[in-house]
Amino acid sequence: MLGRAVNSQRAARLRGRGIKPRPWQGGLDELSLRKGHTYRIVVSDLVRDRPIWFGGTDRSEASLHLFFEWLGPKKSRKIRLVAMDMWKPFRNACSTYVPNAAILYDKFHAMRHLNEALDKVRRSEYARLSGADRKFIKGQRYTLLSHRENLTLDGKRALRTLLKANQRLHTAYLLKESLASSGTIVAKPGHGSSSRTGVLPWRVNDSTPARSSPR
């Protein structure tokens, strides 16, 4: 990430240049200045592959507002895509200042939220079921959340049995894998979402019937 590549001395020089670029595609990241929670925001021009702004007092929505105020509404309206992690203050600021820009999410953070959502489905199914249907879920958290290629032969067999036994988990797993296999995860302009996690464009409907366990 950009925040790991730009040191504090270089960032200070960027802040003092006072040159307003014309970004069409922007990247947002935070830079840790020292141990603890001391952050500054770094904004980059992805087309020109260079940082263009460093500032704020933390990584809050208010700090990112300072960038858009510096850039001005006319140039802000020209931004068509913003790359970021799934930090909510960044999403909120972009919804306010660049509502028509697409959002390109950092895949690492997106996958973390996908796994959290899948694990919520696993826990809810374990609580809902009993007896033979429940036994296929017990102790399978690692199996369900791991990449299939990292599983042992026994793990792959357990995963097949679990997904065959439970329709809701099967649906949630396929949705996670379909997004994981894509090169990028992009939110459409407007940045809306109806997911349980608040940031992902899918959910498993509570009315989805569970399959009976294999005999």
Q: What type of residue is 122?
A: R
Contact (CB, 8 A) for 46 and 27: yes
Q: Determine the Cα–Cα distance for residues 55 and 23; give it in Å rounded to an integer.
A: 17
Q: Determine the Cα–Cα distance for residues 101 and 140; give it in Å rounded to an integer.
A: 40
Q: For the whole model, what pTM was predicted?
A: 0.60
pLDDT for the residue numbered 212: 42
Contact (CB, 8 A) for 29 and 11: no
pLDDT for the residue numbered 2: 38
Looking from the CA of 44 toward its CB, the CA atoms found within 13 Å total 19
For the chain of 215 residues, list the mean pLDDT of each consecutive stretch of 10.
40 50 77 81 90 92 95 92 91 93 83 90 93 88 90 93 93 86 62 40 44 42
pLDDT for the residue numbered 35: 73
Q: Determine the Cα–Cα distance for residues 65 and 152; give it in Å rounded to an integer.
A: 48
pLDDT for the residue numbered 141: 93
Q: Determine the Cα–Cα distance for residues 70 and 134; give it in Å rounded to an integer.
A: 56
Domain locations in the chain as residue ranges: 2-105, 107-182
Which token pair is 15?
A: 């802040």
Cα torsion 33, 35, 37, 41 to 10°: value is 20
pLDDT for the residue numbered 145: 92
pLDDT for the residue numbered 20: 53
Output b/e per residue, 39-66; b: 16+ Cβ within 10 A: bbbbbbbbeeeebbbbbbeebbbebbbb
Contact (CB, 8 A) for 191 and 94: yes
Contact (CB, 8 A) for 44 and 1: no
Contact (CB, 8 A) for 187 and 99: no
